[in-house]
Chain A
Amino acid sequence: MLRRTLGKAVLATPLAAPALAQSGPVEISFWHGLAQPLGGILEGIANQFNQSQNRFRIVSSFRGSYPETMVAAIAGFRSGTAPHIVQMFEVGTGTMMAAGRAIKPLHELLRETGVTINFDDYLPAVKGYYSLADGRMMAMPFNSSTAIMFYNKDAFRRAGLNPDQAPATWAEMRTAAARLRAGGVEIPVTTAWPTWTQVEQFSAIHNIPLATLDNGFGGLNAELRINNPLMVRHLNTLMEMGREGTFRWGGRDGAGDALFANGSSGMIFASSGARARFVRELPGGIANLGVAMLPYYNDVQGAPINSIIGGAAFWAMNRGPNAARSADENRGIAEFFAFLAQPRVVAAWHTETGFLPVTQTAFREVQATGFYTQNPGADIPIQQLLRGGGQMTGNSRGIRLGGFVEIRTAMQEEMERALQGQQTAQQAMDNSVTRGNVVLRNFERTNRG
């Protein structure tokens, strides 16, 4: 406790820092938003870094959920006590990119400290998400995931479906869902993270824009485009399935996971990071857990292509509006990032948690150990990220929209109203666009300067 207080005092008085840096390690504060068991595994990695050298010490602290961590970091910056490193979920990327001197762009940090990380080795989808249009990296990718489909093999068997073959298209989905329903499965299809899986990922794999200017990568003046015919058609599909009793709204954000974990749902769209939980909780365990790629409409030209990533990345932050970091502190941050890029660290995190192996070297190393043959389906997320040849388009590179947390909430609300029968699919998507664009314009206005 005393040490921690002392550490804070050191950070608060820049004059004293160089004097103490010679006598002890430079402390680097690191705020993350992962609950147990993931948080513990993450902090374990930070401890490994601490033991690997004696110049820097990472002080990890759990700050609640992803949105709470984001809010805490922003409040910290406003009061001059921001952490050196913050874990930020992908939805906050647009906000962080536009954060000006609140953040220390990764490319700048690496250039100033002379630390090198080979980003060519990173999966294109991961690298693209956190880089500027010209390819310069803004944040350190770490725990990336993507949306995939999990299915209950036992439920498939009971319904007379082949448990080794998941439906690949939406037409097949509906047939399979109807069979599951007839076979007594309470909830044939549900979803976690509804807008992420059914709007954002859906748009990416069908190569249609979520927003103009390459989903916001091209500038702050992007506008939402989700009221397009395909998106409306898809929401209609979900609404029809809802009326037929083959699709159940599982709630916002990650709430839907519970419906699959307790065995009442036959198929779910969820984060690949949910794998660890399903293996542990699903009745029948891993033998009962089917993993497949997201389904698509096969009459859409060119579909499917790669899905996009979710999860979080690490951002280096400045302490406050008028306080930059010392060279020592920046050096510590950069070296910790370089540690995180090591194939062995990436591979261990991937196999322990179900998040993606973010570098190609780590993926090959894990492949060589035979992990994927022992854990069938564990490589589905990465295959899906490379689907369609891995050539990303402006629609499948990612999303870079400011205020996206708010836009997601608006989309979820409009979808809920549509699924309740209070409005049509077209109205839901039109309203989402109108409300989302208000958020985008406000963000553009406050971040112009």
Chain B
Amino acid sequence: MGVYETQGFKLDNTGKRVVVDPVCRIEGHMRVEVNLDSNNVIRNAVSTGTMWRGLEVILKGRDPRDAWAFVERICGVCTGTHALTSVRAVEDALSIKIPDNANIIRNLMQLNLYIHDHLVHFYHLHALDWVDVVSALKADPKATSTLAQSISSWPLSSPGYFRDIQNRLKKFVESGQLGPFMNGYWGNPAYKLPPEANLMAVAHYLEALDFQKEIVKVHTIFGGKNPHPNWLVGGVPCAINLEGTGAVGAINMERLNLVKSIIDRCTEFVEQVYIPDLLAIGSFYKGWLYGGGISSKNLLSYGDIPNIANDYSTNSLLLPRGAIIDGKLDEIHPVDLRDPEQVQEFVAHSWYKYPDESKGLHPFDGVTEPNFVLGPNTKGSKTNIQELDEGAKYSWIKAPRWRGHAMEVGPLARMVMGYLQPKQFPEIHGLVDGALKKLDVPVTALFSTLGRTAARGLETAYCVKLQREQFDKLMTNLKNGDLNTANIEKWEPATWPKEARGVGFTEAPRGALGHWVTIKDTKIDNYQCVVPTTWNGGPRDHKGQIGAFEASLMDTPVAKADEPLEILRTLHSFDPCLACSTHVMSPDGQEMTSVKVR
């Protein structure tokens, strides 16, 4: 490949190659290769999806009303979001309208998933990219208490409390069993927090671990069961009977009160723990503003949380929808998922075959024909690739583009979109603005790894508020006697047209998610998913344009080439489906995530 320029980046793959390979599968695994120059700055980045995703084809011929149950199994983290996207796609195809209560309950489940996912991501999948656990052992519990009390009124903040946490941690470390803290690059100079901030973060790691389990009870209540809640084309599969009693059957007042109390506790935890922690950690890292990639130029959001049932237009969506291109922040383009010119997937560098690979295909016309060939500069073999040849095909992920542009999706896209429209989204604007002021950084600081992580936290605070509003709406309906949760008018396939197609979209916690379905003779004829990690983690296109992951690593200095902390920190900031895959261990407790410097 040599040297070339694209999207304002100069790619150069002549330097030392570092391979970071999580080496595992199921949810769509990823490997990254970078080239470092003589100062250990990343000058080329190659992101590859190492797993064939064949969901589209296994749905062929199935009953479209069952598709949600399959898509719920694609991924271990986005289960509910995929299911919701699927039922929306089928409803769109068959023109099925859902009752207001069903829309509200879906919103509550989706918001609940956001809050859970963002919280777990911050504390359990991402925090250790910023927090040095071993350094926490050196902290003074009294000073930690002072720090904690200076940023929040959260009651668990006494010196004794932090001393206990430190002792527990010490015991864990001394037993040689670091557990979830196993694969850190402890002591790496890229860690910037003082020991006290590290200890406070470890304490909140443990508290969040305990708290997160309360949040998901909302899914059990509305979805009938967890971890794989039930969904229904035409509404939600839960009946409501306010006077009902007992544990089995309809939603009653007792359960609704439980939902209410969970919402209250989410509010407390997010306001008093998550946001103060985020700002505290941010204040130590605000000088490290790498990792922005293409976020300052191209952002995309499909939007979500329709405030009006069955209205999926921009004005109804409480999470903003739109596209920003070429860094023109004063122009938000409308997004239409049906328009064949907008969302297209390219395969010039993907292991698939198109008749003409200089052209993209809209998902309705999507083709998924594998073509696993390696370029001439690949090192290793098909079964043991040591170094990819990014000049040729190099990923199982397709490269989606919006009107030909590589786009970043996710919380940062959503929060920037909201921030830029203060009239429509005053709460988002206020949250973002408040954080920028508190950290005393300009708007451009958002376009960074830290900005992405901050956007996720601010979005959680926004979702907590939306959750409360949606709950109040539900209660108003119920009190007015509207208990309807499903529309089964078109349940029977005999009522369907011979052929129909539809699009369902959501914003998954990690970004824009779309399902395109074609139904023929009452069965699924074609099903295409374009998932957020495809947008962010996809490979180059026929023009050589790089995607969000690759761009985000460019020009970042790495403190130690054999400890790719900065690489993991930036990739994890996208909350990719592979976040947890960097913790893989062998039977002897050794790390499996391999880092190879060549």
* Bound pair (A, B): no
Q: Which B positions have Cβ atoms within 8 angstroms of A?
A: none
Q: Which A positions have Cβ atoms within 8 angstroms of B?
A: none
